[in-house]
Amino acid sequence: MLMAFWHLFAGFFKIGMFTVGGGYAMLPLMQQEIAKYGWITPAEFIDMIAIAEMTPGAIAVNTATFAGFRTAGVLGAILATASLALPSLLIIVPLSNFWEVHRDHPILKAIFSGVKPAVAGLIGAAAIYIAETAFLYDPLLAKKDGFPVDLRSLLIAGAVFVAVRRLKFDPIKAIIISAVVGLVVFGF
Amino acid sequence: MQPKKRKKQATATLRELFVAWFKIGLFTFGGGYAMLPLIEREVIDKKGWTDKEEILSIYALAQSVPGVIAVNTSIILGNRLAGVRGAVVAAAGVMAPSLLVIMAIASYFDYIMKSVYVLQAFSGIRAAVVGLVAAAAVRIALASLKDKPAYAIALTAFVLSAFTEIHAIVIILGGALAGFLVYYFGAKGRAED
């Protein structure tokens, strides 16, 4: 049992330490570690990705929780997620302290003046990727023939956009209402 | 080394930090950028812990170091507001919903995956996330695009990210280099003329 805990710690610490960019960038290394230690079966890993996408939270954190829970129960789940986040804590705390102190230095200011629009561009691309995934590859709606994008999905997305952007609607309420609306309108 | 106090340093109790990040973790579906609209609402609009422009620097930092983007973002803001303890509490807050939800459903996986009602509700949530992220993208573009070089950098980053396989960190580093050349080297060159 102690060995199982050690493997969970070592495996997820390594995953947290050696992947930059989060999310899907972590999956290949996670797959390797899972194969090495046999926390879950490859089939469960595929199912897990689907579940992780559907449940709240970051995908890598969800996968860590699942693998830890299957291997060693609640303690295993906590250990796996904590191990995943530990490298971030060790690296970021000193780095962001440095940034807070020196952020007004002309060179750092200039660098971040270039980084900010680059991130804005990345967010724009991510918005398109998210739209593509939701509209074209929805597991429930993708099989339908005819018009490739489901009109009901488009209407929900448009309504949420207007509500949040123009009416300052709370995103959490928008998500809850959309779940209920989805339950009703996609039932037909 | 403690972060230098800024002119309007926001403060937060550990409890406030935990609750705010717990909410963000609980209502983020899909991770990464899908978290943005909730961060804007909880951390910027409600709490005023950062602003729309600075969040981009924080995001860039979170994406350029190892780890999960959502967790990294919570650590940066938690550390600023309440030191290392704040970082730990914020990270625990953003991960706690995953622990609770995944453990709760781990035993019912197959049943849940086959439930048509669950799929219907999630089709609704997925569509909502598209609207939320689009609204956040528009807001952020308006806040960060201030001059022509910024437009050029944003457009280049967008095209590279949308149409090539280039990793986000390479694009961020490219933005950093462009920023250095345009806003530091360029400004210096103009001053010396």
Going from N- to C-terminal start, the domains of chain A cover 2-102, 108-185
Whole-number Å distance between alpha carbons of B150 and B143: 11
Question: A151 vs A173, A185, B128, CA distance in Å?
Answer: 22, 11, 13
Which of B 116-135 lie inside 8 A of A, CB atoms?
Answer: 116-135
Q: For B22-44, write each residue's pLDDT tens digit.
A: 999 998 886 667 788 888 888 88
Residue B1 in this model has a pLDDT that exceeds 50: no
Q: How many CB pairs under 8 A join A and B?
A: 417
Q: Which of residues 19-38 of B touch A (CB under 8 A)?
A: 23, 25-38
pLDDT tens digit string along B55-82? 888 988 888 888 888 899 999 999 999 9
pLDDT digits 0-9 by tens, B112-154:
767 888 888 888 888 888 898 888 888 878 877 889 999 999 9
A124–B154 C-beta distance less than 8 A: yes
Tell me what percent of the residues of chain B surpass a pLDDT of 70. 89
B93 touches chain A (CB under 8 A): no
Residue A141 pLDDT:
67
Is residue B120 one of the residues assigned to a domain? no
Domain count, chain B: 1
Cβ separation B60–A84 shorter than 8 A: no
Question: Do the domain assignments include residue B170?
Answer: no
Q: How many other C-beta atoms lie within 10 A of the C-beta of residue A59?
A: 25
B167 or B180: which leads in pLDDT: B180
pLDDT of A34 reads 85
Q: pLDDT-derived band of residue B189, with 50, 70 and 90 as boundaries?
A: low
Is A80 in contact with A67 (CB distance < 8 Å)? yes
Q: Give the residue with greater pLDDT, B178 vs B1.
A: B178
> Is position B22 within any domain?
yes
CA distance B37 to A102: 28
Whole-number Å distance between alpha carbons of B138 and B129: 14
Residue B6 has pLDDT above 50, yes or no: no
Nearest chain A residue to B31 by CA distance is A58
Identify the pLDDT of residue A150: 81
| Segments of chain A with pLDDT less than 70 | 21-25, 138-148
Indicate the residue of A16, A107, A175 with minimum beta-carbon distance to B128: A175
* Distance between CA atoms of residues B39 and B15, nearest Å: 17
Give the pLDDT of residue A75: 95
Instruction: State residue A85's pLDDT score.
Output: 94
Closest Cα in chain A, distance from residue B29 (Å): 5
- Angle at which helix B116-144 crosses helix A171-185, to 10 degrees, equals 140
Report if residue B54 sits inside a domain.
Answer: yes
Backbone φ and ψ for B170, nearest 5 degrees, come out as -65, -40
Query: What is residue B8's predicted lDDT score, i.e. its pLDDT?
Result: 47
Residue B84 has pLDDT above 90, yes or no: yes
Asked whether residue B97 is domain-assigned, the answer is yes
Contacting residues of A for B30, CB less than 8 Å apart = 53, 59, 130
pLDDT of the residue at B9:
57
With CB atoms and an 8 Å threshold, state whether B27 touches A171. Answer: yes
Torsion of CA A163, A165, A170, A172, to 10 degrees: 90
Residue B99 lies in a domain: yes
Range of the domain at B81: 14-108
